[in-house]
């Protein structure tokens, strides 16, 4: 049996099941955006790691080294945000082809430093090694959250409102602009920027985690079709999502119209938006949204509802059920 026959997430399930017996009391291991390790009586550590490989996660000739350094850290900080944590420090391991210019690596580290400085994340160490062909970047980030406030994928409750903290599909649109080598118009460049320079919603995640009416949370890395499915599987729930309510930028609407792109597919399965998806107690949503708007100057966008059932998304458009790819991005099935 080959891995592309079972996919990324079933492979992860095969791993996690073999190590559950080693998990200590109070620890949370494989299965969420971060692991949780007890720290003291008031706080827990939240820890994540992610890898980016040339020609898989980025095209070296289409992203500047500064952007690459920034994005490499940003995707990890987004995992910390999804738990409601505050990042403290990072570890950087990098596999480097021997012919790589040192000045290129300096520029990568400038982008990495710029984002580190913005969120006061220390670089604590890592590893360097030679790579035969491709640039490989692996980052681990450690953060902290108040004990009991981490938001897990397993916390969704029936009748919760499903909402996201920002636009969906811009990053996927940017990737299509790059792959199709479209001209560098203002709209195209804006989508490329969304793809190369995602903003981790750290402050939003910390704020949301302080409110008990916010239940499950995850960052949108693989597309809501995949990421919401993770919440449903861990919570033992189903969902209804209204495609007409998905927050899509005017930029993506204009470009999709001109290029005849399927905007619903980009918004649900494109991935790499790195906004947060959370579920909120229905009766408390309006007040929470008003408070959120007052602090962050933008809305939480309600897109659906958690329902009873097991790990199915019912997609609605124009009041009628439609059928979409539910699974989003999978490294071995996409």
The string of pLDDT tens digits covering residues 59-97 is: 999 999 999 999 999 999 999 999 999 999 999 999 999
263, part of any domain: yes
Render the burial of 7-29: b for 16+ CB within 10 Å, e for the rest: bbbeeeeeeeeeeeeeeeeeebe
Structural domain boundaries enclosing 257: 153-322
The structural domain count of the chain equals 2
CB of 121 within 8 A of CB of 112? no
The CATH number for 102's domain is: 3.30.1330.10
Same domain for 245 and 212 = yes
Give residue-wise pLDDT tens across range 95-144: 999 999 999 999 999 999 999 999 999 999 999 999 999 999 999 999 99
Same domain for 129 and 37 = yes
Same domain for 190 and 224 = yes
Same domain for 161 and 135 = no
Among the candidates 105, 122, 146, a domain finishes at 146
66, part of any domain: yes
Beta-sheet pairing, 313-317 with 237-242? parallel
Same domain for 119 and 159 = no
Per-residue pLDDT, 331: 53
The CATH number for 197's domain is: 3.90.650.10
CB of 21 within 8 A of CB of 33? no
Same domain for 249 and 125 = no
23, part of any domain: no
């Amino acid at each position: 049996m080959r891995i592309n026959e079972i996919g990324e997430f079933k492979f992860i399930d095969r791993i996690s099941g073999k190590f559950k017996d080693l998990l200590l009391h109070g620890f949370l291991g494989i299965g969420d955006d971060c692991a949780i390790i007890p720290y003291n009586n008031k706080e827990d550590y939240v820890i994540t790691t992610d890898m980016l490989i040339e020609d898989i996660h980025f095209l070296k000739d289409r992203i500047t080294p500064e952007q690459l350094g920034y994005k490499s850290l940003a995707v990890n900080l987004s995992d910390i945000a999804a738990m409601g944590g505050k990042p403290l420090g990072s570890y950087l391991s990098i596999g480097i082809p021997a012919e790589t210019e040192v000045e290129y690596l300096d520029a990568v580290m400038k982008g990495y430093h710029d984002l580190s400085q913005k969120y006061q994340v220390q670089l604590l160490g890592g590893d360097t090694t030679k790579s035969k062909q491709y640039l490989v970047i692996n980052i681990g980030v450690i953060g902290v959250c108040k004990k009991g406030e981490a938001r897990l994928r397993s916390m969704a409750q029936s009748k919760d409102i499903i909402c996201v903290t920002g636009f969906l599909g811009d990053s996927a649109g940017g990737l299509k602009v790059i792959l199709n080598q479209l001209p560098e118009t203002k709209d195209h460049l804006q989508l490329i920027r969304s793809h190369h320079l995602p903003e981790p919603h750290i402050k939003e995640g910390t704020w949301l985690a302080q409110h008990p009416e916010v239940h499950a949370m995850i960052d949108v890395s693989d597309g809501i079709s995949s990421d919401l499915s993770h919440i449903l599987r861990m919570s033992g729930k189903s969902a209804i999502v209204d495609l007409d309510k998905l927050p899509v930028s005017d930029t993506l609407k204009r470009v999709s119209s001109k290029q005849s792109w399927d905007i619903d597919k980009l918004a649900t399965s494109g991935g790499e938006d790195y906004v947060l998806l959370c579920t909120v107690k229905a009766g408390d949503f309006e007040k929470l949204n008003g408070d959120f708007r007052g602090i962050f100057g933008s809305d939480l966008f309600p897109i659906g509802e958690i329902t009873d059932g097991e790990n199915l998304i019912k997609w609605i458009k124009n009041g009628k059920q439609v059928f979409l790819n539910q699974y989003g991005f999978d490294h071995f099935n996409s």
